[in-house]
Amino acid sequence: MDKVLNESESQFFSGKKSASEIKGKIFMGITQLAVILIIAVLFIILGIIVYEGKSKFSWEFISTFPTNGMTEGGIFPALIGTFILVIVMSIAAVPFGTITALYLTEYASEKSKFAAAVRFSVRTLAVVPSIIFGLFGLGFFIQFVGAGADTVFNGGELRWGQPNILWASLTMSLLTLPVIIVSVEESLKTIPREMREASLALGATKWQTIRKVVLPESISGIMTGTILAVSRGAGEVAPILFTGAAYYLATLPGSLSDQFMNLGYHIYIMSTQSSDVEKTMPIQFATTLVLLVLTLSLNVVAVIIRSRIRRKAK
């Protein structure tokens, strides 16, 4: 036996237990250290933002307009703008995401080339840099669809062919589409096959089965997807940089063709282009805190729902 083993293998199985044990301890320690480091950094970020932001954080802060050249006051319009953005985004993205997921799990056969292409596209959509979506929104929605709509319906008057909340939301919905598809697909897969088969055996057609059996069962998955998408959409800034976000608006957006303020964009311009970065520091931290609380709490809710789905599946 010894002859068969080469050198490294004999070392591998040799009785030098103590040395190898020490090596193992060190190695395990290093991996453990990596985990601790990552988690520590996460909590440091959280801690610093909470610590710096809490002094300014109040009901007044989130319910008033910015005043005095954005060096004082609250973030009300940015918050409302973000809400409108994610609502319009969800209206666009959730049906499409759900239906795509339905196709992938219910209709597509295992070996379908088309389904493989759809899957690949969805994964590609998930990794395309967010700034590219911004460019696409500008090139497609604004310059092509918007300007085209202006020519056809508006007699050439510029209304839709410029950055506005609708185009920003649609751009964002493309970005969040994969998030929804992946979570709905995951929840659809946890529905036992027996339920579908029972429905089919009773004489229901495929579409009836989907509508009356599969969809009601996957509501929680759709919710998870929506929440995750909203959390993602609320935090992304790059896609709306040139598709609708505004530096400052004195009024709330009144229609979909208006520009809007956005929390993330607000943080960006306040910290890089504000007239007095030092003075507005508390506002910036408080805005960041609001955004972080928003996205993280949404994520926690989604994680809880998702773990429930998984537990149910087991």
Partner 1 sequence: MFILNEFQINKMNSQLPIKQTFTKESLKKQFRLSEFLAEKVISSIAFLSIAVIFLIFIFVFKESLPLFNFGKSDKAKTEIQASNVGKPESYGAGAEELKPESYGSEATKELKPETYGSEPTEELKPETYGSEPASNEDLKPESYGDTPKEDLTVPATDETTTVSESKEEGKTWNTFLSIEWVPVSDNPRYGLIALLIGTLKVTIIAMLIAGPLAVLAALFTSCFASKRTKEIIKPVIEMLAAFPSVVIGFFALMVLASFFQNVFGYDSRLNAFIGGVAMALAAIPIIYTISEDALASVPKTYTEASLALGASKWQTAFFVVLPAATPGIFAALLLGVGRVFGETMIALMATGNAALISANPFESVRTFAATIGSEMAETVFGETHYSVLFFIGSLLFIFSFALNAIAEFYVKGKLLKKFQGN
Residues between 6 and 35 that touch partner 1 (CB under 8 A): 12-13, 20-21, 23-25, 27-28, 30-35
* Shortest Å, Cβ 114 to partner 1: 7
What are the backbone angles phi and psi of residue 122, rounded to the nearest 5°? -60, -45
Of 202 and 219, nearer to partner 1 (C-beta) is 202
Q: Which of 5, 42, 87, 313 binds partner 1 (CB under 8 A)?
A: 42
* Shortest Å, Cβ 70 to partner 1: 16
Token pair belonging to 297: 């709490």
- 57 near partner 1, judged by CB under 8 A: no
**What character string, x for contact with partner 1 (CB under 8 A) and - otherwise, covers 82-121?**
--------------x--xx-xxx-xxx-----xx-xx-xx
Q: Which of 62, 80, 204, 301 binds partner 1 (CB under 8 A)?
A: 204
Residues between 271 and 290 that touch partner 1 (CB under 8 A): 271-272, 281, 284-285, 288
Rounded distance, CA 183 to CA 130, Å?
A: 20
Q: Which of 125, 200, 249, 301 binds partner 1 (CB under 8 A)?
A: 125
Size of the site for partner 1 (CB under 8 A): 105
Stretch that binds partner 1, among 57-65, 184-192, 230-238, 253-261 (CB under 8 A): 230-238
- 50 near partner 1, judged by CB under 8 A: no
* Shortest Å, Cβ 134 to partner 1: 8
* Shortest Å, Cβ 155 to partner 1: 9
* Shortest Å, Cβ 151 to partner 1: 3
Residues between 138 and 197 that touch partner 1 (CB under 8 A): 138-140, 143-144, 147-152, 156-158, 161, 174, 177, 181
* Shortest Å, Cβ 71 to partner 1: 17
SS (H, E, C) the chain: CCCCCCHHHHHHHCCCHHHHHHHHHHHHHHHHHHHHHHHHHHHHHHHHHHHHHCCCCCHHHHHCCEECCCCEECCHHHHHHHHHHHHHHHHHHHHHHHHHHHHHHHHCCCCCHHHHHHHHHHHHHHHCCHHHHHHHHHHHHHHHHHHHHHHHHCCCCCCCCCCCHHHHHHHHHHHHHHHHHHHHHHHHHHCCHHHHHHHHHCCCCHHHHHHHHHHHHCHHHHHHHHHHHHHHHHHCCHHHCCCCECCCCCCCCCCCCCCECCHHHHHHHHHHCCCCCCCCHHHHHHHHHHHHHHHHHHHHHHHHHHHHHHHHHC
